[in-house]
Structure 1
Amino acid sequence: MIKYRFFCNMIWQAFQNSEKINAAFTPTSPNRNNFNMPSQQKQKPGKTTAKIKHNTSEPALWKKILFSALATLAFFFALELALWAGGVALLVDREDPFRGFSGLITVFEPQGNVYRTRLPKPGGTFNDQSFQTAKPANGVRLFTLGGSSSYGFPWSAPVAFTAILGDVLAAAHPQRTIEAVNASGVSYAMHRLNLVADELFRYEPDIFIIYSGHNEFIEPEFFNALKRRSSARNQAEYLLAHSRVYSGMHALLNTRNDQPATLDAKFDERVRRENTRSYLPAEKEAIVEEFRWRLQRLVRRAHERGIKVVVCTVPCNLRDWRPELSLINSALDEAGRRQWEQALRSGEARLARREYADALVDFQRAAELSPHHAMTHYFMAQCHEGLAQWQEAQQAYQRACDEDASPSRRLSKINQAIREVAEEEGALLVDMDQIFAAQSPRGLVGFNLIEDYVHPTPTGHQEIAWHLWQALERAGWIGETATMQREQFDAIVKQRATPDSQANPSWLFNQGVILATQGRDDLAMEKFRQALELEPTHGGALGNLVSLLLKQGKIDQAFPLAEKLVELYPDYPNFQTYLALILASKQELTRAKVHFENVLRLRAGDPVAHNQLGLISEQQGDEIAAAKHYEQALASYGAFAEARYNLGKLRFTQGRYAEAQAYFEQALASQPDYLAALLYLGMAQQELGNDLAAQAQYEKALAIAPDHVDVLNNLAWLLAISNDRQIRNPAEALRLARQAAELTQYKGYRVLGTLAAAAAATGDFAEAVKWQTRAVELAPAGEAATLKARLKRYQSGQSLQNETPD
């Protein structure tokens, strides 16, 4: 690498000095002003002056140009030789600069008596595959065309259905030489698959298996610029890619462009779009039609060459994968949007409590207001599943997939197009979408056969291979039809010499990240652990594993991993943050403070570090330092709701209620569903005498968390003791207080005190005395006096009004 960069920098310097070199080799004119010319004397009268003879043997202009061109060519030829001697690789030998869109870089290249994948490498665009240059006389050569789902992601080619099918066909037809080649490319959609097919036509294929449909919305997002490039430009760059000078410059510029990258980018290996693109229904229709046309074109061109074609519908994870992006009806006015939001939130809360019928009603109301909101249909599917309405659940899951505004899975219309093209063009159809549904519990395809969102599990690949074998044998395409027994198939699969795993750690990491964004934390952690088995120092996998363990509150499991992270990557601020958070949770405040200060050293002004240092300062009794850290956090990130909440809470404890109210309101402006901020805003407003506003905050909080004990307790207290007739509601106060008491199993003295106050407000003083007596028994000694005073009031038949809530 050092030698390589040395030669790359040599190119850079050579280009900078090229004009000087050209000047040195270019003949100069004697008439240029920068040369000293003979002085001309004025002619004196009566004297003659000798004529100066000018050189008439100057080279002609064409000779100058030719000499300059030859000198330049000689320089670059010498430079090319020097780079060759220095081991600089050609760009065309390192990568495909056109990402498969030019048709100029082939997938396979001849190597002796075989064709082999060009540039094979773990995690590459194509699997390492090979087949004979001279097709055997008795040979059957089939190619699979598709994306990462048929590629075998995240495992390896031996796990994918193409390899399994090849082994089964070889066992069933020992008289034939079977060559099953996986020509699938990661992220390849139908546009590039047609270009790959152009190459495959040259290799005498007998059968094409087409398994594609998931990438139609991803390929345009990544590669529109490449698709629009002219063929002339591609040809020119293709020729340049065979030059070591150009290749070295390309590598040098890429290296220089990479220089400013921070350490953060080192672990950001996520498979994701840089800018998520949303698609409207009309745009989706257009892409489906383009897919249909390109698939039809591929099938027709294959048939014209005598190649038989199998097309497969492509299943995906419907049950266990949420839509990527949901769009709200833009035609809704503010009132309609509030109604939609209220219906959706109510449905989510009821769904969490498994109140499926009531939740379904809420979601149906939300769907009426915003019919194309994908997550609404996903929630409806979960309700139908909870009600054992299996067909409705399947339809709703599919609708959620189809309404996804940023599809990473095939639409149902993609599969319908595949079925129609197969029928119209006479291709053999293997409907894997329906087969996977038939083999899934209740017809709901999920993680049982799909690894993540579209990639089949090893079992899924085996099922595809089994049904392809059946289809090929029934069609008689291999020769004499072999007996097809599932027991025979399973025995062959069991005996196959496949590696335990050739999964790339970066692939497993990518899958973990995707699963984590879907809320599938346990599955994500499993992927991160698998990545770490292959690469124990993989910072991304280790860091994300620690993050998820912290999210689940598994501090003891996260602690040694976080220490390892900081040991391996001491200059990575996020890892310092993880360890500091763990230490703070374990009340090792001094050590935690050191690591948060390390974060600020590595990333000045880090808002999370300042916020956490504020909390530590509060615990250590330094309120001035705490406030300063919160303010610095907000200076770095003004929308940091947690820092505003913490500063507001600090002011609340200091009795500065008006300031506290302002901070809580600002926190809620950034995060409207911030439950703790709603609760404390209500408390601040209550302290300021604004009971009506306090009631509104508590009710908002209760809509978000119907079983939150503090919210129930505060609202019940307010309704029980308020002097305002608009607010006072003893019956509702009693209901809320009983709910809070049940949630605490009647063991919380504050809640029991509120229950007593609510009972007294209804006139049931016997009940009030009962619960207040119990509250006195459970309360700490410091609060017993206040509780006993209230008990005496209840015993004398007096209720409470306008007291501070317990």
Structure 2
Amino acid sequence: MESADTTSPATRTTPRRWRRLGFVLVILVAMEAAGWIGDHLLDFRQKLLWRLTLMEVEAAPTTTDASTVPDTALWIRSSNDGPDPEEPYRVGQTKIQGAGPWVEHLRLTPETCPGLPGQRTFVLGGSAAFGYPYHFDESLAALADRPDASPDHRVLNAARVGATSSDIVPIARTILEHYDPATLVVFAGNNEWFHWRPSGPGSKTGPASRPATTIDSTSRSLLATLSHSRALAALASGVVHLVHNRDARAAPVPVTHDDGFVEHHALTGARHAIENPLTPERYDASQWPEIRQKYLQRFRENLATIITESRSRKVRVILMTMPFQYRLAPAWKQRQPLAGNPRHLETMTRLVDETLALQDQDQPAKALERIREAIRIDPMPPVPHYLEAELLESLERPVEAEAAYARSREAMIGNLGSRLSINRVIREVAAEQEAELVDLRKIFDDYQHRRQRHFNTELIHDDCHPTPLGHTLIAQHLERLLGGARPTEPSEPLEAAPRRPASR
């Protein structure tokens, strides 16, 4: 006969199951509590969200106008650079001394912003304004900021790596609405075509042209959602940090596309562009002028918007033109056409080949005549201008060579091309809006020319970023406008940069 208090096995396991669930719940609560404490100390959730935002900038084209909804929080460059790179920092095949992948940020709120309201200067722009790829204390904002001499007036770096002018407008609005600035300094124009790629029948550019470690939009959204849990945010932040560090050891690294083209192959020279042309089957280059004009118009409108909205709040705006690397390889970012008009392709290809043959035979004068014949037929493609510049340089005519390199940079399609047009728009907007202008392209040129040097060899070592010497020069001109200038120019390097060989 069974006892009355005898229980079934199913009944006995129920309290045991609840105890186990309770134990797991206690562990999860403890982990989440530890996550909240860690996040309070290390702010890893905000760093994770920032890196996810940066990945979105690098992975997804900016196809809409500037955002109209500003955020209260503001990210500025952190004075803590982080660890030095494990390998020498390289741009393509070129090592850049003193450089590294330092993109650390600090999150501000209106309550934690340094300086007195109404006396702050904010620097806006892309990676050139940010000071990438050099140390914090070598950037223009840090050099112009003098907290010991003037603790109330601070110069803060709100630039963002990879930012287009459409990305800068909402940052400017955040500053204007919540941070009571005295001055906005806009040093932008390198990234307007950052996301543009030629498309057409046979074009293979697209997702395959990005590094394999790119996190897609769905994964980024999922990580951002999961980051509401501080424990999961800590785990995700660690994983993204590892991916980021691996990719940033020697960036920008060469990227091989599935069509055989190598992005970031070589910093200078035209050979890669000649061997890997953008053919009419891949892209109709005659469409480029219209596309370029649309991007330039949006750039113009965004600059005007920043000035107009700043003026409505009695905030001063200083625009800066973009100095550039004269010798940058035409195919640094993507293939380039050998002819702007497909009807000229055969003739242009022949003249380029003949120019290279004469160059190999050490006949630069005859080669110059040949390539100028090509330019007269079709001035649109960048490669003939680049070859002209190399030949002028070999003939010791640096002033003419510099102008020819500039024409090549203007003719480049896509990112980092249209250098003369970008600076023309900046100057025109400054004049139309009666904004102050610092013509950095002229300042860099004058600095070099006074020393009988050319091509910004001391002032830009990579594809588009001023060196610490360049930032010092920029900061001193900015200080003069802000009222704390020292009149002397930065000291020049001990040695001039060596001349570089021709493409062939």
In structure 2, which of residues 471, 481, 484 is the aligned counterpart of residue 461 of structure 1? 471
Give yes or no for contact 1:141–1:207 (8 Å, CA) kept in 2.
yes
Q: How has the CA–CA distance of structure 1 residues 214 and 371 changed in structure 2, closer, same or farther, with 3 Å as cutoff?
A: same
Q: Distance in 2 between matches of 1:368 and 1:124?
A: 45
Number of positions where the alignment pairs a residue of Structure 1 with one of Structure 2 = 395
Give yes or no for contact 1:378–1:400 (8 Å, CA) kept in 2.
yes
Task: Tell me by how many angstroms 1:178 deviates.
Answer: 2.6
Matches within 5 A, 1:159-238: 159-167=138-146, 174=149, 177-201=152-176, 202-219=178-195
Over residues 650-691 of structure 1, what are the superposed CA-to-partner deviations in whole Å (9 max), with x where a residue is unaligned?
Answer: xxxxxxxxxxxxxxxxxxxxxxxxxxxxxxxxxxxxxxxxxx
Matches within 5 A, 1:211-360: 211-219=187-195, 240-244=226-230, 247=233, 269-271=251-253, 280-319=288-327, 321-324=329-332, 325-329=335-339, 332=342, 337-360=345-368
Q: Distance in 2 between matches of 1:158 and 1:464?
A: 14
Matches within 5 A, 1:534-553: none
Residue of structure 1 equivalent to 2:53: 98
Q: How has the CA–CA distance of structure 1 residues 272 and 411 changed in structure 2, closer, same or farther, with 3 Å as cutoff?
A: farther
Task: Tell me by how many angstroms 1:93 deviates.
Answer: 4.6
Over residues 268-293 of structure 1, what are the superposed CA-to-partner deviations in whole Å (9 max), with x where a residue is unaligned?
Answer: 85446776698823222211111111
Residue of structure 2 equivalent to 1:421: 429
Q: Distance in 2 between matches of 1:244 and 1:129?
A: 17
Give yes or no for contact 1:80–1:244 (8 Å, CA) kept in 2.
no
Q: Distance in 2 between matches of 1:293 and 1:389?
A: 39
Name the SS for the 1:440 alignment partner. Answer: helix
Task: Tell me by how many angstroms 1:251 deviates.
Answer: 6.9
Residues 1:376 and 2:367 are matched in the alignment: no
Q: Distance in 2 between matches of 1:326 and 1:136?
A: 47
Give % identity: 22
Residue of structure 2 equivalent to 1:147: 126
Name the SS for the 2:154 alignment partner. Answer: strand
Q: Distance in 2 between matches of 1:406 and 1:414?
A: 12
Q: How has the CA–CA distance of structure 1 residues 387 and 204 changed in structure 2, closer, same or farther, with 3 Å as cutoff?
A: same
Q: How has the CA–CA distance of structure 1 residues 337 and 319 changed in structure 2, closer, same or farther, with 3 Å as cutoff?
A: closer
Give yes or no for contact 1:151–1:185 (8 Å, CA) kept in 2.
yes
In structure 2, which of residues 130, 135, 147 is the aligned counterpart of residue 156 of structure 1? 135
Q: Which has the higher contact order (CA 8 A, sep 6+)?
A: 2
Read off the aligned partner of 2:53 and give its amino acid letter.
F
Q: Distance in 2 between matches of 1:349 and 1:194?
A: 49
Residue of structure 2 equivalent to 1:618: none
Matches within 5 A, 1:584-733: none
Read off the aligned partner of 2:184 and give its amino acid letter.
F
Give yes or no for contact 2:32–2:229 (8 Å, CA) kept in 1.
no
Give yes or no for contact 2:77–2:106 (8 Å, CA) kept in 1.
yes
Read off the aligned partner of 2:292 and give its amino acid letter.
K
Q: How has the CA–CA distance of structure 1 residues 178 and 105 changed in structure 2, closer, same or farther, with 3 Å as cutoff?
A: closer
Read off the aligned partner of 1:81 and give its amino acid letter.
V
Give yes or no for contact 1:165–1:465 (8 Å, CA) kept in 2.
yes
Give yes or no for contact 2:444–2:456 (8 Å, CA) kept in 1.
no
Residues 1:81 and 2:37 are matched in the alignment: no
Name the SS for the 1:206 alignment partner. Answer: strand
Task: Tell me by how many angstroms 1:412 deviates.
Answer: 1.0
Q: How has the CA–CA distance of structure 1 residues 268 and 95 changed in structure 2, closer, same or farther, with 3 Å as cutoff?
A: same
Residue of structure 2 equivalent to 1:486: 487
Over residues 329-379 of structure 1, what are the superposed CA-to-partner deviations in whole Å (9 max), with x where a residue is unaligned?
Answer: 37546xx65543332122123334543321112112333455332121111
Q: How has the CA–CA distance of structure 1 residues 124 and 443 changed in structure 2, closer, same or farther, with 3 Å as cutoff?
A: closer
Q: Distance in 2 between matches of 1:322 and 1:316?
A: 13
Give yes or no for contact 1:127–1:151 (8 Å, CA) kept in 2.
no
Residue of structure 2 equivalent to 1:445: 455
Task: Tell me by how many angstroms 1:414 deviates.
Answer: 0.8
Give yes or no for contact 1:320–1:447 (8 Å, CA) kept in 2.
no
Q: Distance in 2 between matches of 1:443 and 1:268?
A: 29
Task: Tell me by how many angstroms 1:434 deviates.
Answer: 1.2
Residues 1:362 and 2:338 are matched in the alignment: no
Matches within 5 A, 1:541-580: none
Residue of structure 1 equivalent to 2:8: none
Q: How has the CA–CA distance of structure 1 residues 396 and 274 changed in structure 2, closer, same or farther, with 3 Å as cutoff?
A: same
Matches within 5 A, 1:489-528: none
Matches within 5 A, 1:128-143: 133=112, 140-143=119-122
Give yes or no for contact 2:356–2:367 (8 Å, CA) kept in 1.
yes
Give yes or no for contact 1:436–1:445 (8 Å, CA) kept in 2.
no
Give yes or no for contact 1:215–1:409 (8 Å, CA) kept in 2.
no
Q: Distance in 1 between matches of 2:314 and 2:254?
A: 39
Matches within 5 A, 1:392-431: 392-408=400-416, 411-431=419-439
Give yes or no for contact 1:79–1:245 (8 Å, CA) kept in 2.
no
Over residues 689-729 of structure 1, what are the superposed CA-to-partner deviations in whole Å (9 max), with x where a residue is unaligned?
Answer: xxxxxxxxxxxxxxxx9xxxxxxxxxxxxxxxxxxxxxxxx
Q: Distance in 1 between matches of 2:32 and 2:469?
A: 48
Q: How has the CA–CA distance of structure 1 residues 245 and 449 changed in structure 2, closer, same or farther, with 3 Å as cutoff?
A: closer
Name the SS for the 1:364 alignment partner. Answer: helix
Q: Which runs of 5+ in 2 are unaligned?
A: 1-12, 15-20, 58-66, 84-100, 198-205, 258-262, 264-277, 493-498
Give yes or no for contact 1:145–1:210 (8 Å, CA) kept in 2.
yes
Taking structure 1 as the reference length, the TM-score comes to: 0.42
Task: Tell me by how many angstroms 1:154 deviates.
Answer: 2.1
Give yes or no for contact 1:194–1:294 (8 Å, CA) kept in 2.
yes
Moved more, 174-183 or 233-242: 233-242
Q: Distance in 1 between matches of 2:24 and 2:73?
A: 28
Read off the aligned partner of 1:461 and give its amino acid letter.
H
Q: Which runs of 5+ in 1 are unaligned?
A: 1-23, 26-72, 109-114, 259-263, 474-481, 494-518, 522-704, 706-806
Task: Tell me by how many angstroms 1:166 deviates.
Answer: 2.0
Taking structure 2 as the reference length, the TM-score comes to: 0.64
Give yes or no for contact 1:120–1:128 (8 Å, CA) kept in 2.
no
Read off the aligned partner of 1:141 and give its amino acid letter.
R
Larger Rg: 1
Read off the aligned partner of 2:306 and give its amino acid letter.
L
Read off the aligned partner of 1:416 and give its amino acid letter.
R
Q: How has the CA–CA distance of structure 1 residues 455 and 382 changed in structure 2, closer, same or farther, with 3 Å as cutoff?
A: same
Name the SS for the 2:181 alignment partner. Answer: coil
Q: Distance in 2 between matches of 1:175 and 1:371?
A: 52
Note the aligned Cα RMSD (angstroms).
Answer: 4.7
Read off the aligned partner of 2:128 and give its amino acid letter.
S
Over residues 111-148 of structure 1, what are the superposed CA-to-partner deviations in whole Å (9 max), with x where a residue is unaligned?
Answer: xxxx9859975545455598983765697311111122
Residue of structure 2 equivalent to 1:762: none
Give yes or no for contact 2:103–2:132 (8 Å, CA) kept in 1.
no
Read off the aligned partner of 2:182 and give its amino acid letter.
D
Task: Tell me by how many angstroms 1:187 deviates.
Answer: 1.6
Name the SS for the 2:457 alignment partner. Answer: coil
User: Which of the two has greater helix per residue?
Assistant: 1
